[in-house]
Amino acid sequence: MKSIFSKTLFCLLAFMLLPCTASAAGLKEDMVALDRTFVPAYGVLNRTPAEPENAKRAMEALNMQWASFRQKYTAAQGGDTQWSSDMAKIDRMMVAASRIVDTGTDFPKARDELKGMRQTFLDMRQRLNMPYLLDDVVRFHDPMEAIHLTARGKSGEQLSDADIARITALFSEAEQRWAKVQSAAGDAAFVPTAERREALIKLMANESRALDVLKQALAAGDREAIAKSAQGLRGPFTALHSSFGAGK
């Protein structure tokens, strides 16, 4: 079986022979298509125990989509002078992640490469002032995850005053970022059908309820409820984020 790295090189060479038909109007749609393969690859690399074969398949799908995107959009978009250098940086991250997955070891390092790729794309879209629902979801993830990690494995009695203060401060930021996710939920590039929109609304409602439970626990000063609800934020978020993957 060919390695992911070898397949990636083959795909890139093949796409270089194709005519370039990119248009600015299709950039966002092609980014969404890329994320449909990125999200499953990112997710499988975080599973315990590791799933080497599933990881390889997910990376192969991502590499195919990336090769197409790279061929169409290597040139600067929207006057962004940093675009081409960022595209080259993303390509290096893809190559590094593929090589790691080929070895079947150190998947967290491969995931870090993809995380860097995700952040670079987020920065690129921000420079283009491009509304992008998944970027808002990713921005919400940071304070949400920090809340979860602060409380992880702790009972109410084990939460320190510093933990409570940190969770309270992070919750304020998370709530603000979640409001942006909610306001962006109508992004047609991600919800092109009524069925997709209905599914998204249900997943977002689950995260909203989890946030409301934590908010009430913080207001009441109930340490046990704070510990439980803080750790309960990640589950519905993971389901929401996964829904942006292929076939979702």
pLDDT (tens digit per residue) in 112-129: 999 999 999 999 999 999
Of residues 119 and 19, more confidence is placed in 119
| Residues forming CATH 1.20.1440 domain(s) in the chain | 133-242
User: How far, in Å, CA of 23 to CA of 203, rounded?
Assistant: 33
Q: Which pLDDT score, from 0 to 100, does residue 246 have?
A: 73
User: How far, in Å, CA of 169 to CA of 177, rounded?
Assistant: 13
User: How far, in Å, CA of 23 to CA of 39, rounded?
Assistant: 24
Residue 68's CB: how many other CB atoms inside 10 A?
A: 18
Chain-wide mean pLDDT for the chain?
A: 91
Joined tokens for residue 51: 């799933």
CATH architecture of 4-127: Up-down Bundle (1.20)
User: How far, in Å, CA of 144 to CA of 146, rounded?
Assistant: 5
Regarding the domain delimited by 133-242, which CATH topology (the fold level of the hierarchy) does it fall under? Answer: de novo design (two linked rop proteins) (1.20.1440)
How much is the pTM?
0.87
pLDDT tens-digit readout, 43-64: 999 999 999 999 999 999 999 9
| pLDDT higher than 50, residue 154 | yes
Contact 227, 156 (CB under 8 A): yes
| Residues forming CATH 1.20.120 domain(s) in the chain | 4-127
pLDDT tens-digit readout, 61-77: 999 999 999 999 999 89
3-state secondary structure of 57: helix
